[in-house]
Structure 1
Amino acid sequence: MTSASLARPGTVAAPAGTAPRVFRSIGTVTGAATVHGVHGAAGRTRWKCFAGRRQLDSASEAVEWASVPPGGLSGEHRHTRTEEIYLVLRGHGEFLFNGAAHRVGPGSLALTAPGNVHGLRNTGEADLDWWVIETLSPGTRAVLSSTGHTHPGVPPMGDVVIHDLFKERTVSTDGVFSGPLRRVEVVELDAGQRTVLGSPDAELAVFVHSGEGRATSGADAAELVADTCLTLGAGTSTTVGATAPLRLLIVTLAVPERAEEVA
């Protein structure tokens, strides 16, 4: 059995030679980089990229984690080509959207579509940590894939969209996003419970918000602890068992090519 321990720094490369690969990427926030002046803001941000285009089959840019200290700011910037979620993991602050501030805390899920300006400020007394997933808009994907020769342009600013994921449990992005990021959900397991994760036509990005467990798929396995992130390939199946109460945050990233094959 192949097992990847996640109590060490870095992102572990997924095992090669499988088709399709189950664990596309596995990593923890340990060893996160310290970046200064993110999006033009003064101060520092801790940042970790778990997966980028090379690890993902969906039209996704990156799966990341970020953290700013009390009083810190992730600067306001406009999205013109991508759709992005901020999911607050810990801490309290203000989500800045098109010039207005909105209070956020653990479980706050903010959706930013192209044309809008966003940022995040820590107004609490502890670090503000959040999960970031950025995906290409259909227009951008068409240009990059050479199926479209001109970008359709940047939409006008829209209304703020913030959900309480821990209360709602499942959030659909319909009506806000038109790219691969379709759904965000919470799965909670008591110690000893198991669940099976997988989709025939979508990758899954999974973040361990709290608890401990183990993910297995065939001969491959990974130990799960808080602040672990893994991405699961489309058309694969992974069993997750909890050894302590476990909270998983799961994002569905549609893979059009897989959807066509399944159909």
Structure 2
Amino acid sequence: MRPDLQISDLGSPSDVHGVHGAAGVTQWRSLAAGRGLRGPYEAVEWACVPPGGLSGEHLHSRTEEAYVLLSGRGEALLNGAPHPVRAGEVILTGLGATHGLRNTGSGPLSWLTLEVPAPRTMALAHTPWKDAPMAEPRTGEAVVVDLGELRDVDPRPTLQGPLRRIRLLELGPGASEALPGRGAEHTVFVLSGAGTATSGSGDVTVREGMSVTASGGEDLTVTASTAGLRAVCASFVVGSPHGRETGL
């Protein structure tokens, strides 16, 4: 790991049994975590279940979450209602919502998980316990959006926290995408192709199945090779959500 970047790939994922109470095995890999980043709230992970596999239904009482579906087909259970889903779609799950995900296809179902504490959770974490208000029961919102069609998704108002943008980047041969770091952190996960990620301390070669996460304040430029590059880019605001978000 370099001080300004977290660089990960999908090599040697862990086998996790009984995820959220479900039977079976899920493959899992942490791609970026709060350690080494300016915003300690990000968790970027990769998960995969085989045909018939299930990530069990569970309540989001503390965090908000986005699933970016990378491969396969499945059925998402959102607040108890089934929704067919497929690669290229994003499942947004707000605070107080429930979700689960089953693989209904013939091949692996894989996704990126983008998880952050909700603003209420962050506020309570800095409030003395005697002054903390009682939790108010509420059902949050959970929706499915088509990233392949929209190409640029603003998670709000379903999500209220620091995840502010999910984009599909398609760069032709030699093309570049600049991601300014002021007030923001960015994670780029390469779907296909190859290229170079450039930060203040040099270049890193990236390829399919790799992710690069830049810490807050660090500019990042992604440049495609001669074969082009497709990637998912998730952007998080660092600091006050009401501050200037020049990197987004």
What TM-score does the superposition give when structure 2 sets the normalisation length?
0.91
- Deviation per CA, 1:135-161: give whole Å up to 9, x if none: 011111122234784256255224431
Q: Which residue of 2 aligns with 1:90?
A: 71
Say whether 1:167 aligns with 2:149. Answer: yes
Q: Which residue of 2 aligns with 1:69?
A: 50
Q: Which residue of 1 aligns with 2:2?
A: 14
Confirm or deny: 8 A CA contact 2:166 2:234 kept in the other structure: yes
1:141 counterpart (122, 125, 134): 122
Structure 1's 262 and 202: CA in aligned 2 closer, same or farther, altered over 3 A?
A: closer
Q: Which residue of 2 aligns with 1:228?
A: 210
Structure 1's 209 and 225: CA in aligned 2 closer, same or farther, altered over 3 A?
A: same
**Unaligned residue ranges in structure 2 (runs of 5+):** none
Distance 1:260 1:147 in 2: 25
- Deviation per CA, 1:39-74: give whole Å up to 9, x if none: 000000000111222133225241100000000000
SS in 1 for 2:106: coil
1:242 counterpart (218, 224, 233): 224
Confirm or deny: 8 A CA contact 1:165 1:186 kept in the other structure: yes
AA of the residue aligned to 2:164 = R
Distance 1:154 1:69 in 2: 37
Confirm or deny: 8 A CA contact 2:198 2:222 kept in the other structure: yes
Confirm or deny: 8 A CA contact 2:7 2:210 kept in the other structure: yes
Say whether 1:255 aligns with 2:241. Answer: no
Q: Which residue of 2 aligns with 1:6?
A: none
Question: How much has 1:174 moved relative to structure 2?
Answer: 1.9
- Deviation per CA, 1:102-150: give whole Å up to 9, x if none: 1111111011011111011000011001000100111111222347842
Count of residue pairs the alignment pairs up: 244
Question: Structure 1 stretch 107-116 or stretch 215-224: which is displaced more?
Answer: 215-224
Confirm or deny: 8 A CA contact 2:181 2:218 kept in the other structure: yes
Confirm or deny: 8 A CA contact 1:180 1:254 kept in the other structure: yes
**Unaligned residue ranges in structure 1 (runs of 5+):** 1-12, 16-20
Structure 1's 254 and 197: CA in aligned 2 closer, same or farther, altered over 3 A?
A: same
AA of the residue aligned to 1:204 = H
Distance 2:197 2:43 in 1: 22
What TM-score does the superposition give when structure 1 sets the normalisation length?
0.86
- Deviation per CA, 1:208-234: give whole Å up to 9, x if none: 111111111233221111111121122
Which consecutive aligned stretches of 4+ in structure 1 deviate over 6 angstroms post-superposition?
none
Task: Give aligned-pair identity as a percent.
Answer: 42
Confirm or deny: 8 A CA contact 2:237 2:245 kept in the other structure: no
Confirm or deny: 8 A CA contact 1:70 1:122 kept in the other structure: yes
Question: How much has 1:259 moved relative to structure 2?
Answer: 7.3
